[in-house]
Copies of this chain bind each other. A is one copy, B any other.
Amino acid sequence: MKNYRDLCIDLLQERGVSLHSIAEVARYLQAEYHENLQAEQFYSSIYSVLDKREVQFAVMVAIEMDMQAENRNLFNKELEEILLRDEPLFGVDEVNAYGITNLYGSIALTNFGYIDKFKYGIISEINARGKDGSECHTFLDDVVGAIAAAAASRFAHGYHKKDEPFEE
């Protein structure tokens, strides 16, 4: 049986988000503090974030809601409309993402706020794909930003130094 972490990695992949693209956002968030940072240096932090149960469940719920809306499958058609037009005052998508960032302290939360407003890399791409109407990524861009922010915070706190050497 696949574990929940691998299930989440597959789900993210199916929705167009590679681990590398998340690592690239994490790198961007830490770039001002270190020279010559590489996205690869965040891989182990991203794996570590995705190992937490509450993170896995937040990812699953986010992708499920997006897919339900995309397939016009919701019971609540008003909610479906809100999700499909990515209503800026919706808020539940960000609250779901806080379930991830909270676990990594206040730096993760400020990083998340920053990346949520100043969309970078994959977050900008997902967001754009959700705007044309055929796809829905209302929840996804927030959990991706949250995972990147959490990984950047973990890196800033120096936990990566204690990591086992990374193997994919």
Contact = CB atoms under 8 A, between A and B. Distances in A.
A117 interface: yes
Contact of A92 (B54, B76, B107): B54
The A interface, classified by DSSP as helix, strand, loop or mixed, is: helix
Range of interface residues on A (Cβ < 8 Å)? 35 or more
Interface string A94-107: 11101100111111
A38 interface: no
B94 A61 contact: no
A121 to B, nearest CB: 16
B107 A110 contact: no
B107 A11 contact: no
Given A57-B92, A79-B64, A116 B105 contact: no
A45 interface: no
A109 B115 CA distance: 12
A86 B155 CA distance: 19
Interface string A136-159: 000000000000000000001100
A-B complex: 10 closest residue pairs judged by Cβ atoms: A113-B113, A95-B99, A94-B106, A102-B102, A91-B106, A110-B113, A114-B117, A54-B91, A110-B116, A60-B79
Interface of A: 4, 7, 11, 52-54, 57-58, 60-61, 63-65, 67-68, 73-76, 78-79, 82, 88-92, 94-96, 98-99, 102-107, 109-114, 116-118, 156-157
